[in-house]
Structure 1
Amino acid sequence: MSNVIARCASTIRDLVQEDRVHKSLYSDPELFEQELDKVFNNTWVWVAHESEVPDKGSYKTAMIGRHPVIVSRDRKNQIHVLQNRCRHRGATVCEGKHGKTKAFTCPYHGWGYALDGELRALPKPEEYEGILDKAEHGLEKLRHESYQGMIFATFRDDIEPLEDFLGGAKKWIDLFMKQGGGYPVKALGDHRFRFPGNWKIQLENTTDAYHFPIVHKSFISSVDEATQDVFDFLDGDGYVEDLGNGHSVMVMIPDLVDLEANLDEPIPKRFSELAQTLADEGHSDEEVRKLVRAAGGSGFNLNLFPNVACSMAFFRVLTPISVNSTEIHHVAIGGDGAPAAFNKMRLRLHEHFQGPMGFGTPDDGEAWERVQRGANAGKDGWILVNRGMSKLSQSDDGNVKGAVCSETGMRSAYKQYLKCMIAEENNHA
């Protein structure tokens, strides 16, 4: 067995190099199966934001790799992450995307589970007398921890605490959560779609500014000149920073990193109507400015390895379906208790770029699909991730930093990816 492990590790080291990765990472089915186990089954994976299960009885279903799970809030207001699998014959006990319920009941044989996963009821219990202990047959629970309302789960009990895994990304999560405009961040709505491509293609995209003026020409043409200037950032002072553990941040608009700073700046014309509405509702000038500044989203994209991005104004979650299919879940966010006009503006801006009929994500999807098709061309080939390697510097936090159009974020992700893929070999060393 150790020889097999060593052989696999040697192969993946050949395929993942510092400045390039082999195109087979997008197209090899056997490699994909290894990723599901070595990456998704062995690290912290984002499953929900606490606002998606706001009340007692709330639930949301999610995926960890191929594993269906339920995120639920019980009657004591405690959150649980449960495997979505009946302990009798294995059927899923919940098929809804989200909602409220008093219990989870298997549709096959009627086993009933409480919101915390405990087995509470089963038909004809006398047939199990003396051979089944209900206390030992609840839905299997996963270890989970939260940071700033973001819930992560893992199959491993021996993994480091979530906050240690997030490390340098915590600072940026704190900044991202200021998008509530002084109110707690809340999920406003969501939509899902699939694209015919490998999950790592999307993982790379979040901190890739290089593509923006090319792929997103239609978006740029759809906004006013002042907004076009804001998104003309390739030659600006932005940067990409390696935050460790595969996480990275791409700062596109430095002036919008801290949404509570420089509130005396002039209100952009595109937000003047919102500002007037908020003022007419009786909000103070400071409140109006804080809300207006938060309405447009943060000036950075944060990538959290392996499956979630805090991308300017929403959560983007990826789920690997097969080697050439990935599901994307977009969660629009606003403020819990914030003025309706503020949350409405947040939704409209989300729809403008990320929505199914938007000017951004559909174009991204076309590019991702083309990358997947290209991965099937020829018997050999490499994906370059070397841009900016000769011009790296150190950030104020002591991290590796590159220009905004560098591929620093991609190298960060693949460094962690390789660490996950060879971990078993290191354990047997």
Structure 2
Amino acid sequence: MLNQKRIPVNQMVTPEGDKVQSEMYTDSELFDKEMDAIFDNTWVWVAHESEIPNKGDYKTARIGRHSVIVSRDRKMDIHVLLNRCRHRGATICEKHKGNARSFVCPYHGWGYGQDGTLRAIPIAGPYEGVVDKEELPLISLRMESYQGMIFATFNKDIEPLEDFLGGAKKWMDLFMKQGGGYPIKTLGEHRFRFPGNWKIQLENTTDAYHFPIIHKSFISSLDGDTAEIFDFLEGDGFVEDLGNGHSVMVMIPELVDLEENLDDPIPARFEALAAELRAEGHDDDKVRRLVRAAAGSGFNLNLFPNVACSMAFFRVLAPISVNETEIQHIAIGGDGAPSAFNKTRIRLHEHFQGPMGFGTPDDSEAWERVQKGAGSGMSEWILVNRGQNLVQQNDMGNDYSTVCSEIGMKAAYKQWVKMMNAAEQGA
């Protein structure tokens, strides 16, 4: 082991925000501080409403170190509950998702309602006058949603979700248009873990610079017209800092608003889909709207700290340890949309994001290599300054730069610094 001093938190990022220390990925003590200062104190994405559409539906999720249950009760209200029995602290739900009338702790049988209320204690006599069931519901987190995206927080005093999202709301509104005129619905998912720090993945979704290099195999799998669309580094796209750690990377400007340009010619790769939709009896306007939405939006929206609305899917990160992160890729389509449309969306998702796709395996290897490199040798600066010489401000006062700039990474690290310093000063 090389002998070197621990770097203070306030020196991990340069004042300009253009460099970060390699310990950002490898320091286990720093990781613990991040879980307290960031994940325990901000809005964290836990579910999309379509994942729990019915009474009694639930899913489990992670907020930093903590397991939570996202549940819909008999009144169709949504709750986010700490997955921990109030008796001896055992987790009460181990399944990823399902439907249940109640949650029963497997250790001693304490039973909880879908809203977290404690309803049953087996052999309750010895608790007479000792335990009041009304005082021991599952711990309930503050929960709010926007555009069907459910966020939760342990911080009871945090600003409203919509204030936290700020400038990102405009882009969330645009992203949700890709149902082709139908509400957004989750279609399926896959999960995997990679041996690297959570911030490596946070950076990736706002990094266009790597795309034509690491994803050559994906580009080579496309037809000529489609490959040309993904040749966007010299185009008119941009990356914008949206505040509070959020950012947007616009790669294909003509696909930002999927309800525009509906009269454009239907791309050759979607002619079969259009023909199938017409054969089902859908009129031309509907066919064009569905076809335009089939491939998703032309941008990636990063929502600090754990979720991205990435072109045509949700990407969710969950920190496991300083050098391990779980990734969840969620395919999305239209709720009630023609099966041909949703099938096309799934096939496109599999082509790039799927476990046997062209994109995810290449990305995962790159993330692993960053972690390996960060742990080699003495502390070194990691550069996040690409495009800094081209930064401008828009009418909203937000910084933006060329599409292959690293403004999005700087946006995330500005919020990281803000939250970590606040925790240090409050300690």
Class of the TM-score when normalised by the shorter of the 2 chains: over 0.9
The CA deviation at 1:425 is 3.9
What's the counterpart of residue 176 of structure 1?
175
The alignment status of 1:89 with 2:92, answered yes or no, reads no
Q: How does 1:200-349 map to 2 (within 5 A)?
A: 200-349=199-348
Which amino acid letter does the alignment assign opposite residue 178 of structure 1?
K
Which ranges of structure 1 fall in alignment gaps of 5 or more residues?
1-7
What's the counterpart of residue 13 of structure 1?
10
What is the distance in 1 between the residues matched to 2:158 and 2:365?
37
Q: Secondary structure at the match of 2:257?
A: coil
The alignment status of 1:109 with 2:113, answered yes or no, reads no
Q: How does 1:142-221 map to 2 (within 5 A)?
A: 142-221=141-220
Q: Secondary structure at the match of 2:25?
A: helix
Relative to the length of structure 1, the TM-score reads: 0.97
What is the distance in 1 between the residues matched to 2:186 and 2:18?
37
The CA deviation at 1:288 is 0.5
What's the counterpart of residue 30 of structure 1?
29
- 8 Å Cα contact 1:277-1:341 kept in structure 2: yes
Q: What is the percent sequence identity of the aligned residues?
A: 71
The CA deviation at 1:394 is 1.7
Q: Secondary structure at the match of 2:265?
A: coil
The CA deviation at 1:424 is 2.6
Report how many aligned residue pairs link the two structures: 420
The CA deviation at 1:395 is 2.5
What is the distance in 2 between the residues matched to 1:37 and 1:55?
33
What's the counterpart of residue 5 of structure 1?
none
Q: Secondary structure at the match of 1:16?
A: coil
What is the distance in 1 between the residues matched to 2:391 and 2:107?
58
Structure 1 residues 381-425: Cα deviation after superposition (integer angstroms, max 9, x where no partner): 111001111111123433110100000000000000011101134
What is the distance in 2 between the residues matched to 1:93 and 1:27?
32
Q: Secondary structure at the match of 2:167?
A: helix
What is the distance in 2 between the residues matched to 1:425 and 1:214?
39
Q: Secondary structure at the match of 1:315?
A: strand
What is the distance in 2 between the residues matched to 1:40 and 1:349?
32
- 8 Å Cα contact 1:241-1:249 kept in structure 2: yes
The CA deviation at 1:47 is 0.2
Q: Secondary structure at the match of 1:177?
A: helix
The CA deviation at 1:196 is 0.3
What is the distance in 1 between the residues matched to 2:333 and 2:234?
30
What is the distance in 2 between the residues matched to 1:255 and 1:190?
28
What is the distance in 1 between the residues matched to 2:286 and 2:8?
56
The alignment status of 1:411 with 2:414, answered yes or no, reads no
The alignment status of 1:42 with 2:41, answered yes or no, reads yes
Relative to the length of structure 2, the TM-score reads: 0.97
What's the counterpart of residue 63 of structure 1?
62
What is the distance in 1 between the residues matched to 2:379 and 2:160?
40
What is the distance in 2 between the residues matched to 1:376 and 1:246?
26
What's the counterpart of residue 71 of structure 2?
72
- 8 Å Cα contact 1:241-1:395 kept in structure 2: no
The CA deviation at 1:122 is 1.1
Q: How does 1:376-395 map to 2 (within 5 A)?
A: 376-395=375-394
Which amino acid letter does the alignment assign opposite residue 16 of structure 1?
V
